[in-house]
Chains A and B, each alone.
Chain A
Amino acid sequence: SQTIHQWPATLVQPVGSPLSLECTVEGTSNPNLYWYRQAAGRGLQLLFYSVGIGQISSEVPQNLSASRPQDRQFILSSKKLLLSDSGFYLCAWSGDDPYGYTFGSGTRLTVV
């Protein structure tokens, strides 16, 4: 069966520090991968998605970047965090099928 792992669960980082959040998927090949941000427990903002290794689409210009170094690995990064980067970050994967997305458990990022 397919599983998705996202870590860490919580993170407190000072302003100006770097960020690396990792997401890995097991049990499937060539998944579509997504990074979302959710502010204050409300709507989902799509940050990046990837349909293959090295293929990254950015939905919102900002202080973050994403990389997909391996088929089932998706990394969200920042060189210098801003206070406004605080939020709940969710990774998800989907296949080329109508069965929807499967989400990771999320990372609560607090920038102080």
Chain B
Amino acid sequence: GEDVEQSLFLSVREGDSSVINCTYTDSSSTYLYWYKQEPGAGLQLLTYIFSNMDMKQDQRLTVLLNKKDKHLSLRIADTQTGDSAIYFCAESRDSNYQLIWGAGTKLIIKP
């Protein structure tokens, strides 16, 4: 299986919170990342977290890291239609910071 796993789809109502989950297998991961890809576009870095941190918050985004369980989540508060996208989780392990990617979670917003 993949080293980084994500659910393929998440459907939420506009205005609710979205929580996108990711699990990884390598305990030597140093940094973990969330990227957003809008339709027909490249990937955009949303945020990243160092592995010795538990949480990072940036406006509507909250990243939670449970290193013991190797679980990373991205919470989007007050989800808007503009948040519709594919969200990729990624980890870096080595000194070159090369990234290992999840398959992406497609966030669907219901009116």
Q: A residues engaging B (CB < 8 A)?
A: 6, 32, 41-44, 49, 51, 90, 92, 94, 96-106, 108
Contact = CB atoms under 8 A, between A and B. Distances in A.
Interface residues of B, number: 27
Interface stretch (B14-22, B55-63, B73-81, B91-99): B91-99
Given A100-B33, A100-B99, A90 B104 contact: no
A43 B101 contact: yes
Given A6-B42, A96-B96, 5 more contacts: A90-B43, A96-B95, A97-B97, A98-B50, A106-B41
Contact of A100 (B48, B103, B104): B48
Which of A6, A51, A101, A104 counts the most B-chain CB atoms under 10 A from its CB? A101
Contact of B43 (A42, A51, A94, A103): A103
Given A51-B96, A98-B92, A42 B104 contact: yes
A102 B45 contact: yes
A42 B88 CA distance: 10
Contact of A32 (B88, B96, B103): B96
Interface of B: 30-31, 33, 35, 39-45, 48, 50, 86, 88, 90, 92, 95-99, 101-104, 106
Nearest to B103: A43
A105 B86 CA distance: 15
A106 B42 CA distance: 6
| Majority secondary structure, B binding face | strand
A43 B48 CA distance: 19
A94 B97 contact: yes
B40 A101 contact: no
A105 B37 CA distance: 10
Contacts of B101: 43-44
B6 to A, nearest CB: 9
Given A43-B103, A49-B98, A94-B97, A103 B42 contact: yes
A6 B41 CA distance: 12
